[in-house]
Amino acid sequence: MSRPFYITTTLPYVNDKPHVGHALEFVQADALARSRRLRDDEVFFNTGTDEHGQKIYDKAVKEGRDVKEYVDFYAERFTALKEKLNLSYDAFIRTTDEKHIQAAQEIWKRCEAAGDIYKKNYKTKYCVGCELEKTDSELVEGKCPIHLNLELQIVDEENYFFKLSKYKDALLAYLAGDVVTPLARKNDAINFVNGDGFQDFSISRLKEKMSWGIPVPGDESQVMYVWFDALTNYISTLDWPNESADSNFTKYWMNGETLQVAGKDQVRMQSIMWQAMLLSANVPPTQHVFYHGFITSGGQKMSKSLGNVLDPFDYAEEFGIDAVRYFFLRHVHPFEDSDFTRERFVESYNAGLANGLGNLASRVMKMAEEHLTEPVVVAEKEDFTDYFALLDAFKFNEASDLIWQKIAECDALIQESQPFKVVKDDAEKGRALIADLAVRLYTIGRMLNPLMPSTSQIIKDAVKANKKPENMFSRREA
């Protein structure tokens, strides 16, 4: 058993229903959390929803809805994912929760006490899509390259600023460590700190223009900028500023191992803004951030106008939750963009699950049920050193491959030793071969736990009961 393990996703912004990127991030984080629990580590797995900001405010107003009622509606779409993707998170923090609001105000006060917050009149271009200020060098033909359909807002007011520039050296020292995976994102972070965009940023808005935010401590006329508020969730979920010896904050953030999972477009927020805020508030920075790639469809970003949007939750209903988890973990590259199409999904489902895992489980357990008089003796603890090392390195695809190598080995053993024939001539020898296969299948079941928790349980139960499981993955047409 090692140190307590803290893991968090980024918080989805609740201006829409969950999409494929959320599903990927949640499943990856869930697999990591489960793989630690399998090793008896104490785990705190956080997720939640980011509920303030201009974009949400504008959308609620446009739809004529009360803003709180609007965010409640969408937050529920995200809490429902626990069941829809079989997630094992321990906490679901909403940035409208009272304890979060208090933590966001406390971190503001600490940054202010450190001399890192000041007020200034300024004028800037602001992308509501990103909820970020944009410098001219970041624009393409005067627009945000990620949100070409949105007009940039001009913010012209007196706001509070955070002294990001003060943390240049400290951030470069932090980023020099083993704190970011993959290397390409680490380089993005270092380049950002060394570039033009690395400037003090505004952390408040005039309340009369945008009231949907956490009040700035000591200034009724301003509310906090959404990112300054939302990033604090990673410690508000641990009840910070409660820093007592028996607090979750002390246990997981101060004395544990801390890991954030985020999309590859999040480097500026997660590895720079947030880490500088922590440094300013005198809280240790996050030990590691893993940035995953994006999911495309037909080689392009999914978009309603292209008509290539695939809903992972429809696939979970049609093929089963574990089939979706399998695809995301084995057939989506952890760091680079990957394509999700129906053809690719069905092809990998048939090869890996229907013909691979499902077929092996039913063949082995059919023989076991027929020829063994009692269940095989199985070891509950096994040493999966290589497998866990790959998961700890976020190589979900390669970790999965280790399991499918074992499946292939079992298939080859059946092919070569033909236990179903041997058992007719030499019962003892045949039974020994079948028992060996059942033990191997149990190991496969155990290894599947972080990736495909229900399937793992079904296989383990079948071996322990010496009974052929129901058909798990029937073959599908594309």
> Which residues sit at the interface with Zn ion, rule CB under 5 A?
127, 129-130, 144, 146-147
Distance in Å, CB of 130 to Zn ion, minimum:
3
123 catalytic residue (yes or no): no
304 catalytic residue (yes or no): yes
Q: Phi, psi (5° rounding) for residue 245?
A: -60, -35
The number of beta carbons lying within 10 Å of the beta carbon of residue 137 is 8
Distance in Å, CB of 56 to Zn ion, minimum:
15
Distance in Å, CB of 150 to Zn ion, minimum:
7
Say which of 111, 125, 134, 144 is annotated catalytic. 144
111 catalytic residue (yes or no): no
52 catalytic residue (yes or no): no
Residues 31-47, buried b or exposed e (16+ Cβ, 10 A)? bbbbbbbbeebebbbbb
Tokens 């001539």, located at residue: 425
Cβ closer to Zn ion: 127 or 323?
127
Cβ closer to Zn ion: 146 or 432?
146
H runs (alpha helix) in 63-199: 67-79, 81-84, 98-113, 168-175, 183-194
127 catalytic residue (yes or no): yes
Residues 119-129, buried b or exposed e (16+ Cβ, 10 A)? eeeeebbbbbb
Cβ closer to Zn ion: 140 or 245?
140
The number of beta carbons lying within 10 Å of the beta carbon of residue 255 is 11
Q: What radius of gyration do the chain's Cα atoms show? A: 25
Say which of 22, 125, 134, 288 is annotated catalytic. 22
Distance in Å, CB of 11 to Zn ion, minimum:
18
Distance CA 97, CA 100 (A): 5
Cβ closer to Zn ion: 142 or 217?
142
Cβ closer to Zn ion: 273 or 448?
273
Beta bridge partner(s), residue 261? 290
In 282-360, beta strands by DSSP E: 288-292, 295-297, 300-301, 338-339
130 catalytic residue (yes or no): yes
The number of beta carbons lying within 10 Å of the beta carbon of residue 100 is 24
Distance in Å, CB of 147 to Zn ion, minimum:
4
Say which of 127, 186, 288, 460 is annotated catalytic. 127
Tokens 């406390």, located at residue: 106
Distance in Å, CB of 131 to Zn ion, minimum:
8
DSSP per-residue codes, 356-373: IIIHHHHHHHHHHHHH-S
Say which of 68, 119, 301, 421 is annotated catalytic. 301
Cβ closer to Zn ion: 130 or 437?
130
Counting Cα atoms < 13 Å in the Cβ hemisphere of 413 gives 20
Residues with a known catalytic role: 19, 22, 127, 130, 144, 147, 301, 304
